[in-house]
Structure 1
Amino acid sequence: MTYNADNEENLVIVQVSPQTHEVVETELAGETDEVKDETKALIEAIRRRAQSEAESAGTLTRETYLNAVRQAREALEGDKLIERDRIEHAFAVLQQEAEKNWHLLFKEIAEVGDRFQAAAKAAWDAFNAPRPQR
């Protein structure tokens, strides 16, 4: 089974093993297809990363494999932290902009209110001004 992991920069085709497909479909039965597909892609990325790390280490011993899996997990978690930091920063900027816009809007509403009040006072003064007798 293949899965297209589509992001803004490029298109990646991920080959999903039948075992991964079965585990994800069983464990995430109530989730959307998007969540399932992203989870499958993540599991396959972890599996490929661990296999690559183990093969590059040379002899495939238990200790080498465990170290490779640990390094792959740490690398992926590090990437996740970077993404989380970017998201948190973007949210903070968005929140600052929203607050700034709220304050500007409130200021403009207050100015309009002041103008209406001044216009009402001017109208009242004009209405109550003494009139020359005819």
Structure 2
Amino acid sequence: MKKWNLVLLISSGIVILDQLTKFLVVRSFKLYESIIVINGFFNITYLRNKGAAFSFLADSNSSFILPFFIITTLAAIGVILYLIYEEGESHPFYLPSLSMVLGGALGNLIDRIFRGGEVVD
């Protein structure tokens, strides 16, 4: 049970930070606006992505895209939970790493559902 408490703590913390930072960016930035945080290394830019990683399929206007991404995300969440269940304590970084990926997947799923199929990037 200790394993699942850690998963819940880390993944929910990631979801909260993810949604909070997205809320602040959407509230404070115009679309495509960018600020330099560390010159030459780290910028914050407000983008909306209808696609997957690197905007893959973002230009597709097909009605299957949103259900496809929701189903794919749910499948990924299922695989992550299975990996945690089966091998959650095999390496000290394995469980925290999977928990962070789980939190990111949940954050993007929330975006897809509540932001019109888009993810704030």
TM-score of the two chains, using structure 1 as the length reference: 0.24
The structure with more helix, counted as a fraction of residues: 1
Q: Which has the larger radius of gyration?
A: 1
TM-score of the two chains, using structure 2 as the length reference: 0.27
Using CA pairs below 8 Å that are at least 6 residues apart, which structure has the higher relative contact order? 2
